[in-house]
Chains A and B, each alone.
Chain A
Amino acid sequence: MTTQDDALPMARKPLDLRSLLDNWAMLLAAVGIFVLCALLIDNFLSPLNMRGLGLAISTTGIAACTMLYCLASGHFDLSVGSVIACAGVVAAIVMRDTDSVLLGVGAALLMGLIVGLINGIVIAKLRVNALITTLATMQIVRGLAYIFSDGKAVGVSQDQFFIFGNGQLLGVPVPILITLVCFLFFGWLLNYTTYGRNTMAIGGNPEAALLAGVNVDRTKIIIFAVHGLIGALAGVILASRMTSGQPMIGQGFELTVISACVLGGVSLSGGVGMIRHVIAGVLILAIIENAMNLKNIDTFYQYVIRGSILLMAVVIDRMKQR
C-alpha cells in the first residue's frame, strides 16, 4: 500500500481513511444505530414497525431534499411547515368543492409553488434576509390555512386521493417510494446539472459566483420555488395519509427538517451539502424517534433527547474542522 503510493505520488488519489470517514460517517452512524435498535429493541424489525418507520421518514425526507438546496445556497426556509398544512387544506377544500382529485392536488402544488416563488423573489431580488422573509411567510401561510379551513380539519372522501398516502406498489407504501424517488432525483440534480452546481457555488461564495457569470438571482428563486412545490407535495401525501386536510399540523416541522439536514452534515453557512447527508440525518432522527416510541419514552423527554443529539452532532462537526 505504502510502496504503491510512493511509486505513484501524483497519479493516484491516496486512499484517505479520514476523508472517507468524513464523507460517509453519518450514513455509517445511521446504519449503526439501526443495527443497534434491531438487536436491542423487540419488535423493531417487525414489518409493521418498519412500515411505520418508513412513513415517518417520508414526510421529513421529501421536504429535506429541497431544504438541502436552500441550505447549500446559504439560506434556509422556515415556511415549509406551514406550506405542508396549507397544501393539505387546499387540496381537501378544492376536492370537496369540485370532486376532482387532479384539481385538488394541482391547486395544492400551485399554492406551494407560489409561496416558494414569493420567498425566492423577496430574498433574491429585494435582498431581504431569508430568516425574516420565511418567518413572515410561515405565519402568513399558516394563517391562510386556518382561514381556508375555518380552523377545522377538512375531510376528504375521494378514494383515489388516498393512493398518495396509503397506496402500495409491490408491497411498498407509495409515500416511501416517492421519498426514494426524491432522494435519487435531487441527489442527481445536485451533482449532474448546472442548477445543482450553481447552487453550491452561490452558497460557497456568492460574489465569486456572480462574477463567474452564474445567474444568482434566478437560481435562488428556483431553489425556493422548488422547495415550496415539494413542501406542498409532502403536505398532499400527509393529508392523504390522514384522510383530511388539517390546518394545525406541521408546527415546528421546518426545524425538524433543518435539524435532519444539519445532523447529516449539511453546512448552515452554505456551500457544503450532499444528498447522503440528508438521507443520513433523516434516518438517524426517524430511527431514534421510533426507538423512543417503542421504548415508551415520554414525549417530553423525547424533545430533550432529540435536541441533545442535534447539539452533539453539530459540536462534533465543529471539532472535526479544527
Chain B
Amino acid sequence: MHAQLNKRDTAGASLCFSGIGKTFPGVKALDDISFTAHPGQVHALMGENGAGKSTLLKILGGAYIPNSGTVGIGERTMAFKCAADSIASGVAVIHQELHLVPEMTVAENLFLGHFPARFGVVNRRLLRQQALACLKGLADEIDPQEKLGRLSLGQRQLVEIAKALSRGAHVIAFDEPTSSLSAREIDRLMAIIGRLRDEGKVVLYVSHRMEEVFRICDAVTVFKDGRYVRTFEDMGTLTHDQLVTCMVGRDIEDIYDYRPREHGAVALKVDGLLGPGLREPISFQVHKGEILGLFGLVGAGRTELLRLLSGLERSSAGHLELYGQKLLLRSPRNAIAGGVLLCPEDRKKEGIIALSSVAENINISARGAHSGFGWLLRDNWEKSNADKQIKALKVKTPNADQKIMYLSGGNQQKAILGRWLSMPMKVLLLDEPTRGIDIGAKAEIYQIIHNLAASGIAVIVVSSDLMEVMGISDRILVLCEGALRGEQRREHATESNLLQLALPRQRADGQAN
C-alpha cells in the first residue's frame, strides 16, 4: 500500500539531492552534495576515484544512511533506511556487481521477493508469462527458463533493468554499466537508456568513459573529493577537455604518457598453451621491458589466458619458458616464485583482503622472504615496506593501518601493485588494471606501468578499453573466441583494424558462449 502511494507520486518528478554528507571512520566520503536530476534526462555523474559517486548511489539505493542532508523525489522527502524503502519509492540502482542469483532462472530472478503465488505455492505459468512480458522489448532473445548464470554479463544487466522496470522504478541509476560489456552490448544498452529517458524517467549514469557520456547524457555533474564541483546542463557546448579539466582540476594532455623504450631478450615465451576457455593453442612471446596489450571482446579468453599464466588454472597442453628456463605452474605460488605476478580483474573478489589493513595487503606476499626463519615477522620491515610502497605509489590513505575496504578502487589497485613491487618481479600480468578507476588515478597507474617496463619488467596488459590498449602497449595481441587472431605493432594499430580482428568472423556476438 505504502509503496503504491509513493510510486504514484513520483511519476514525472525530479530527483533532488540537498546537502548530502556521509562520513566513514577517517574518511569524509561526501560533503554537502546538492543537485537536481530532471525527468526525461540522462544525468551523468563524473569524478575521479573516490570522488563519492558510488557512495551517493549507495545512499540513493538505501544501502547507506547519510549523516546529513536529504534525498527528495518531486515534492516528497525520502528517508531511505534500507534497500526495500528505496525500491518501494521507485528507485532502482543497477550496480556494477549485479544483485542476482546465478543458480536461479531468469524468471525467478525477475520476481525474487514477490513471486506470483497462491497460499505460498508459486504459479509457474504465470511467472513465466510475466517474465516474458517484462523482457519484451528489452531482451526478447532471453528465455525466462534459462538459468541466470548461463547468460552473458550484458544479458544479466538487461535482466536487472527489466526487474527494475517491473517494479515501477521511476529513478534508475547505473553504476559503470559498460565496464564489462562488448561493443555491441553497449550499443543495445545505450538504446535502452535512451528509451527510458524518452519515457520520462530520471536516469543517473555513473561512468568514466567520456565517449559514452557525450553520446547519451543530457547533463553532467562533476564531483571531486566528495564535494560537488558543478553541473553542466548544456552538452552541446561542453568540450571533452573542459570536462576533464573540471574533473581532475588540472589540464592533462596525454594520460597514457607513452615513451618508447628499449626491449631486451625474450622474457616469457608461451608455446602452444591450451586450457579452460581457450579453443586453439596459443603461442606468443613478450620481451624484457615490453608492454604487450591483450585485446578482445568479452568471452574472447583474455582473462582465461592470464589465469593460465598465473598458475590459477592448469594448462592442458603447451609450455612456458621464463628467460629460457622452463616454467611449470601448478599453483599461483609457482608463478609468484618465478616472478610472474598477476593483478586480477576483480579486485574485491580476488585482489584485496577487505577487512585487513593496507599494510597487511601490501606485505602479505613478500613478508615470507623478510621474516625470521620464514615465519617470524620483522616489525621494522613490515612498517617500512608498507610506508615505502604507499609513498612510492601515492596511495591515498590516512595511514597504513586503515582497512583497505575504505579506500577507493584506484588506491586499492595501487596497494596491490605495491604488493608485487615488494617482490622480485619479472613479468607483470595486469587484468583490466583501470577498470572502474577514474582518469586521475588511471594516469598514475599508467605512469607506474611505464616505469616498471622501463626498469626491465615484461608487462602483459589485458583491457577491453581500446583507447587504453592502444595508448600504453608496444604491441597488441587480439584474441577472439578463445583463439589468437592477430598481432599489431603500436605504429600500425588503429581502432578499426583491432576491432576487425576482435569481432567474430561469422556469427554476431552478444550471445553467451
Contacts and interface: CB of A to CB of B under 8 A. Distances in A.
B26 interface: yes
Interface string B398-438: 11010000000000000000010000000000000000000
A208 B332 contact: no
B376 A205 contact: no
Contacts of B354: 204-205, 271
Contacts of B379: 192
A211 B351 contact: yes
Given A18-B25, A208-B350, A192 B336 contact: no
Interface in A12-37: 13-14, 16, 18-19
Interface string A242-274: 000000000000000000000000000001100
A213 B377 contact: no
A195 B375 contact: yes
Interface string A179-195: 00000000000011111
A204 B336 CA distance: 21
A211 B356 contact: no
A11 B398 CA distance: 8
Interface in A26-50: none
B376 A215 contact: no
A178 interface: no
A193 B356 contact: no
Interface stretch (B360-368, B451-459, B476-484): B360-368
A14 B28 CA distance: 14
A215 B333 CA distance: 7
Interface string B344-365: 1000011111111000100011
Interface in B327-350: 331-333, 336-337, 342, 344, 349-350
Contact of A204 (B350, B353, B367): B353
Nearest to B331: A210
A99 interface: no
A13 to B, nearest CB: 6
Contact of A192 (B25, B344, B352, B377): B377
A213 B332 contact: yes
Identify the interface centre among B351, B367, B375: most chain A CB within 10 Å of its CB: B375
Contact of A208 (B333, B352, B367, B374): B352
A255 B26 CA distance: 37
A205 B25 contact: no
A265 to B, nearest CB: 13
Interface residues of A, number: 28
A14 B375 CA distance: 32
Interface in A77-117: none
Identify the interface centre among A200, A205, A210, A215: most chain B CB within 10 Å of its CB: A205
A212 B356 CA distance: 14
B310 interface: yes
Given A194-B371, A201-B356, A204-B353, A212 B364 contact: yes
A204 B371 contact: no
A10 interface: yes
Given A201-B364, A208-B350, A271 B310 contact: no
Given A19-B25, A194-B377, A205-B354, A211 B360 contact: no
A16 B24 CA distance: 12
A194 B374 contact: yes
Nearest to B334: A213
B336 A213 contact: yes
A208 B365 contact: no
B255 interface: no
B312 interface: yes
A44 B279 CA distance: 74
Given A211-B342, A211-B351, A212-B419, A13 B399 contact: yes
A197 interface: yes
Contacts of A14: 26
Interface in A195-237: 195, 197-198, 200-201, 204-205, 207-215
Interface of B: 25-26, 310, 312, 331-333, 336-337, 342, 344, 349-356, 360, 364-365, 367-368, 371, 374-377, 379, 398-399, 401, 419
List 4 A-B pairs, minimum CB-CB distance, nearest first: A204-B353, A213-B336, A271-B355, A194-B375
